[in-house]
Amino acid sequence: MHITSKLPNVGTTIFTVMSALANQHGAINLSQGFPNFDCPEGLKDLVSKYLREGKNQYVPMAGLPALREQLAKKIQLMYDYSVNPDSEITVTAGATQALFTAIMAFVRAGEEVIVIEPAYDSYVPGIELAGGIPVPYNLSAPDYRIDWEEMKRLVTPKTRMIIINTPHNPVGKTLKKEDILALQALTEGTDILVLSDEVYEHLIYDGAEHQSVLRFPELMKRSMAVYSFGKTFHNTGWKIGYIVGPDYLMSEFRKVHQFNVFCVNSFIQFALADYLQDPSTYLDLPNFYQQKRDFFQQAMAGSSLKPFACEGTYFQLFDYSAISSEPDTEFAKRMTTEFGVAAIPVSVFYSNRQDNGVIRLCFAKTEEVLEEAGKLLKKV
C-alpha cells in the first residue's frame, strides 16, 4: 500500500536521539526539558485523595468549573485581567494540545503563520497539518531580539496568525513591554490572531515581571494564551494545561477541542482546583528556579563554554566556539560520547537549521546533577 506522508520531513526528534545516546554512554542528560525531581507532595496527596474518592468519570468538556474558577482568580491576581471562567478558559491535555488545537481551529489552507525561530518543535508541524504556510522570523545569537520593523515586512494579506513564546524556549529570553506593544501595533486593525505560548510564565528571573498578553486588553481581543501545569509543578508527564482567550475565539477553539480530546483527566483537575487556592504554590517558583540557574552558572564558572544571559525558562544556552568550530549537532553528540553530558544543538529549532554554534542545557535538575555536570564540562 502506498501512503503519502502528511509530514514527510519529520523523523526521529533530536531529543530522542540525544537521550538514547546519553543512555548508551552513561552521560548526564541535560538535553531534554524535564525536571529530575518530584512534584510537590501536597499536590500528589490531593491527586491520591480524589482518585480514592472515585473522581474517575468525565468532567465538562471545557474543564472542571472549580479549576477554571481558580485559574480566573490566578489570572486576576497576576495580570489584573478579568476573565470569564465559563467562556474564556479551557483545560487541555497539556500545552502542546492547546497549541495544536488553536492552530487547527483558525488556520486554513494557504494561510500564513509567522513563527519566531528558534521555536518549539510542535509549531511548524501543526501549521503544516492545518494546510498553512509557516513563515519563519529568525532570531540570531547572542541577543536573540526581535526587530519589529523587520517582522512587519513578513506580514502579507495571507497572514492569519503570529506565534510568540515568552519566556522563550530554547533561548531563555523574555519579551519586554515594548515588544508586546509593538506586536499590538503590528496587528491592530488586521485579522491577524496572536497565539502566545507562555508555559514558562513562572520561570522568570531577577525581579522581572512576565509580560503576558493578558496584561494588554486591546491585544487580548485577538489573542489566545497557553499555559502548562506540567512546567509549573514539575510533572510534565501529567500532560495538563489550559488556554485563555476571548469568548468568540474560545468558542471556535472548543469546537475542535471537543472532537480531539473532549475533556482532560478528572481527578487531577479536582486536585489542582484545591492546590491553586494557595498562591504561594506558583508565586514562589521564580526564586526556586533562579537558585538553580545561579547554582548551575556557578558550577560552570571556569568552563570554556560561554553562557548567554538566561532571563527565563529552565534552559541555559552556551557558545562553544572556544572549544570547537564543528557543527552544533556534531558537537552535541561529541559532548555526550566524550565529555559525559548530553545537550541539544540549537540549530534543530530552526526550519533552515541555522547554526550559530550554540547548545542548550537544562538546569531543572538537582544540585548534585548540576554540580557533576559542571565538573565534567570544566575539563573540556
pLDDT in tens, 24-42: 999 999 998 889 999 999 9
In this structure, of 17-26, 266-275, 312-321, the range with the lowest mean pLDDT score is: 17-26
**Nearest Cα to 101, choosing from 247, 224, 237, 231?**
224
Give the separation between CA 305 and CA 308, rounded to whole angstroms: 10
pLDDT classification of 334: cutoffs 50, 70, 90: very high
Residue 14 clears pLDDT 90, i.e. is over it: no
Give the separation between CA 359 and CA 38, rounded to whole angstroms: 26
pLDDT score at 274: 98
pLDDT in tens, 97-142: 999 999 999 999 999 999 999 999 999 999 999 999 999 999 999 9
Q: Which SS3 state, helix, strand or coil, does residue 340 take?
A: coil
pLDDT classification of 93: cutoffs 50, 70, 90: very high
Both 46 and 185 in one domain: the answer is yes
Give DSSP secondary structure letters for 226-271: EEEHHHHTT-GGG--EEEE--HHHHHHHHHHHHHHTSS--HHHHHH
Instruction: Tell me the three cell numbers of residue 112.
Output: 500564513
pLDDT score at 130: 97
**Which strands form 306-307's sheet, in the order they lie side by side?**
306-307, 315-319, 358-362, 344-345
pLDDT in tens, 65-89: 999 999 999 999 999 999 999 999 9
pLDDT classification of 10: cutoffs 50, 70, 90: confident
Instruction: Tell me the three cell numbers of residue 241.
Output: 494545561
In a domain, 46, yes or no: yes
In a domain, 139, yes or no: yes
The average pLDDT across 352-374 equals 96
pLDDT score at 179: 98
Answer for the pair 173, 315: CB distance below 8 angstroms, yes or no.
no
CATH of the domain at 309: 3.90.1150.10
Domain count, the chain: 2
Residue 12 clears pLDDT 80, i.e. is over it: no
The helix or strand, by DSSP H or E, that contains position 373, with its residue range, turns out to be helix 367-377
Which residue segment(s) compose the domain that 373 sits in?
Answer: 14-39+283-377
Residue 15 clears pLDDT 90, i.e. is over it: no
Both 240 and 317 in one domain: the answer is no
pLDDT score at 32: 85
pLDDT in tens, 164-189: 999 999 999 999 999 999 999 999 99
Both 81 and 18 in one domain: the answer is no
Strands 358-362 and 344-345: antiparallel
Q: Tell me the percentage of the chain whose pLDDT exceeds 70.
A: 100
Q: Read off the amino acid at residue 255.
A: K
Where among 221, 255, 278 does a domain terminate? Answer: 278
Both 272 and 287 in one domain: the answer is no
pLDDT score at 292: 98
Sign of CA dihedral 266, 269, 273, 274: positive
pLDDT score at 269: 98
pLDDT score at 13: 84
Secondary structure percentages of the chain, helix, strand, coil, to 5: 40, 15, 45
Give the separation between CA 246 and CA 193, rounded to whole angstroms: 12
Both 346 and 218 in one domain: the answer is no
Both 203 and 319 in one domain: the answer is no
CATH of the domain at 113: 3.40.640.10
In a domain, 319, yes or no: yes
The per-residue pLDDT of the chain, averaged, comes to 96
Strands 223-228 and 159-165: unpaired
Residues 6+ apart with CB under 8 A from 199: 95, 169, 226, 227, 228, 231, 241
pLDDT in tens, 201-256: 999 999 999 999 999 999 999 999 999 999 999 999 999 999 999 999 999 999 99
pLDDT score at 373: 97
